[in-house]
Amino acid sequence: MMSHTHSKVLIVGSGPAGYTAAIYAARAMLEPVLVTGLQQGGQLTITTDVENYPGFADVIQGPWLVEQMRLQAEHVGTRLINDHIASIDLSHRPFQVKGDGGDTYSAEALIIATGAQARWLGLPSEQKFQGFGVSACATCDGFFFRNKSVIVVGGGNTAVEEALYLAQIAAKVTLVHRRDSLRAERILQQRLFENPRISVVWNSELHDIRGNEAPLNVTGVNLRNVVTGEISELPADGVFIAIGHKPASELVVGQLELTPSGYIRTVPGSTATSVPGVFAAGDVTDEVFRQAVTAAGLGCMAALEAERWLVTRDAGLRAAE
């Protein structure tokens, strides 16, 4: 039997941004409702060792960290609903939201924290070694490859920036690109070519990732030359896939202002979007940092701004009476 839920603040998404927004909104007595989505916990659920989230001297596990966030959100009064949002209608107030099972939701203020997904190549070995030598975030995992050899796959700004960052940590960085020229900005290309720790393999694509079984770890890759079809082997301790990210902003296309890359555009220094009462937090609006701690910070901002917006709106309604 389908149900309807109304709330002052509805949060869509259950990563660090969503859970932090829920914690702050609940402590402000806004009785928030959080709809978790299909991938509860977001990107942290597929992250093994986490060493850069403040407050933990020892390495922690991503799934454990996000589970603690969930428990904290519930403890302070957030109502969690396991559903996947199929549509959002921002043309009516309160805002109208519908789950894929038919349940509906309405909210006076909406926080969108649906995140972004790294683009992957789709290789079986890529999935097999994900979190065990294969990563899509140099800032997150580069630390584990100190003085080792790593490969970065891609040719745009993301790939070059990842390679330059890793060159400060790893002993050797090899950028693999399927074309004979890079798409990255010229200044980034110049820095890349001038870095003695970085080399480039042109006209090649990742064909397979090799490694050990027990424990799982990467030992090298097979590359395929796209011109000749020749397969070559290259030893490596880690592989970073840097072919971009896809923000989960499909639900608000045509309703909120987006960046050219599809991220939700917010007011500088704020989480406010182009529609009053709608706020965006986390990776769905952040195409630069994409870290758990920055997502959490944006979630905090979104809840505080939603609270202030509701107070201002209510004051205006009372004055108009």
- Residues with a catalytic annotation lie at 137, 140-141
The amino acid sitting at 81 is I
Helix, strand, or coil (residue 147): coil
| Residue located via tokens 């290309």 | 189
Tell me the residue length of the chain. 321
Q: Which of 134, 127, 138, 172 is nearest to 52 (CA)?
A: 138
Q: Find all residues with CB under 8 Å of 50, minimum gap 6, and list them.
A: 44, 56, 59, 60, 61, 62, 65, 140, 292
Helix, strand, or coil (residue 280): strand
Helix, strand, or coil (residue 308): helix
| Residue located via tokens 């850069």 | 52
Q: Find all residues with CB under 8 Å of 105, minimum gap 6, and list them.
A: 4, 5, 6, 7, 10, 33, 35, 96, 97, 98, 99
Radius of gyration, alpha carbons of the chain: 22
Angle at 15 between CA 246 and CA 209, to 5 degrees: 55
CA–CA dist 238, 42 (Å, integer): 23
